[in-house]
Chains A and B, each alone.
Chain A
Amino acid sequence: MTWEVVIGLEVHAELTTRTKMFCGCPTTFGASPNTQTCPICLGMPGTLPVINRRAIEFGVRTALAFNCRINTACRFARKHYYYPDMPKNFQISQYEEPLAEDGWLEIDVQGGTKRIGIQRLHMEEDVGKLIHDGTLETAPSSRVDFNRAGVPLMETVSKPELRSPEEAAAYLRAFRSVLMYLGVCDGNMEEGSMRCDANISLRRPGATELGTKVEIKNLNSFRNAQRALEFEVKRQAQALEAGEKIVQETRLFDADKGYTRSMRSKEYAHDYRYFPEPDLVPLKLEGAFVDGIRAALPELARAQQQRFVAQYGLPAYDAGILTQSRALAGYYEAAVSALAPGGSTASPASAKAVANWIMSELLRVVPGDDERAIAESPVPPAHLAGLIALIDDGTISGKIAKDVFEKMVRSREDARTIVQREGLTQVADTGAIAAIVDQVIAANPKAIADFKAGKTAAAKSLVGQVMKATQGKANPAIVNTLIEEKLAKV
């Protein structure tokens, strides 16, 4: 039996503001426990929250990038529940009047792209961190760190338009890319900066009604999200095919064991009694505030990828890798323009050469999605361009260049300095190379015999020996030509 999979995702993203959503406490990750709190985020009586303008700017920026409608009437609401990670016993969130609604995000699917609808985007505050002494089930008590309580959190809910676990993972990748390009979230899923819950149900192909859905929490990586959903598709299909009913419930993904399990119902009671937050007046987001944010939106990865293909003649695959972060794309363009003298346009050959060097060498040394590592790369863009220029003008061979690159990584020097100091300049003197070619041919009668017997591969081994004799410094094109000439005569 076949089933259509219906998935919707809720992503919570911690915003990279300096301070919390409603108070001036810093948001530094990893600070000593309970040192970034104040009477407001600890929920002490008589305190009043005040909205962080930058958090709202980040929310609007993201909403615009997701093609959402910014609601002019926007209000905060109290969401009530008791859990020890929340000092106030309510979370300031948004309910009926979220910041933005009705947008979309384009994702990569097999053989093309697909638009996934975004239902809503709203702002709220994060909660504290619980540390259980053992597991939640067995802990006699738990410890609470409220440093995270009150950190600006942006919740984005997709429409149930994802049709497979792979599409869900693609959505998360595209989502993270947008947030990181916008500079509103660091996208670090291990540190919990981006967290995902999924709603998933199955139905018969062609059915218009949705099946009973299950919510899965605790999806803390793209891979775990996909694994949890794949498990859940199988579990629900088996249950339905056995004639069972799916129970609407919240399940937790156990990444170590690879399955989802039902959460005990008392962990989450869905009776939140929302009402408008009396301590915060409404937001009316319009006019210059929104227009200014719209005008300052950066070029996003997908647009940049398409431009790289059009402008530099790169394959889409290369352009995709180079646009995995804004920093890497910036690195690429800086290196390409350094190769184009005086503002001229770089040739497609050198644009491709830069892409190749980044993909095959730089990314071995520097993670492509780590903005800081790229900014602090031991080989900055100008140095990479300098290395490629030395290959282009025949100063060094491509093979030597790889060794030079390793030395550049270690010493942080530019290519020319290393090449000059170590005498790595390519030998392009035909006379000097010819002498070595003669020596190699004289020393290898067997290779000559093989060549005469029709084994053309013997020529290659002679080229290799000449390169070895010159420590790789002979110009390979000249060596090839000379060997061919000599062999034609024997």
Chain B
Amino acid sequence: MIERKDVEHVARLARLALSAAEIEKMREQLNGILAYIEKLNALATDDVEPTSHAVPMVNVMRDDAPGPCLPRDEALANAPDRAGEFFRVPRIIED
């Protein structure tokens, strides 16, 4: 069972600010999802390899050949803040 503190923990890790009502809503929805996934336990899956991808492909690789880069101004265009040639981010350490 997902409890309120689990939702708060995950929300903090994901940098989501949730209101008390939202936390309760998420808790209910996440429990619903887990209950649905629990149905898999009714099946015998001991001999089934865990699936990480639905496509039967391996070894998709590219050559080590340079391609175009973004001009700096384009790379920085969506940044909330910039300092000359750099992205600028707020103070990293929390007080």
Contact = CB atoms under 8 A, between A and B. Distances in A.
Q: Do A and B bind each other?
A: yes
B42 interface: no
Nearest to A135: B93
5 contacts: A23-B67, A24-B65, A54-B64, A144-B89, A284-B59
Chain A interface helix/strand/loop/mixed: loop
B64 to A, nearest CB: 4
A143 B67 contact: no
Nearest to B73: A34
Given A37-B75, A266-B94, A24 B88 contact: no
A36 B72 CA distance: 8
B92 to A, nearest CB: 6
Interface residues of B, number: 35
Nearest to A97: B52
A233 B74 CA distance: 50
Interface in A109-142: 130-132, 136-137, 139-142
Contacts of B52: 75, 276, 278, 282
A34 B83 contact: no
Contacts of A26: 66, 69
A302 to B, nearest CB: 29
B15 interface: yes
Nearest to B63: A53
B48 interface: no
Interface of A: 17-19, 23-26, 32-39, 42, 50-56, 75, 80, 82-84, 130-132, 136-137, 139-146, 264, 266-267, 269, 271, 273, 276, 278, 280-285
Contact of B89 (A23, A36, A54, A84): A84
B44 interface: no
A34 B87 contact: yes
Given A25-B67, A34-B72, A36-B69, A51 B62 contact: yes
Given A32-B85, A136-B92, A141-B89, A281 B60 contact: yes
Contacts, number: 128
B5 interface: no
B86 A143 contact: yes
Given A38-B69, A42-B75, A52 B93 contact: no
B58 interface: yes
Contacts of A131: 86
Nearest to B13: A271
Contacts of B93: 136-137, 264, 266-267
Contacts of B55: 281
A479 B23 CA distance: 99
Contacts of B70: 37-39, 42
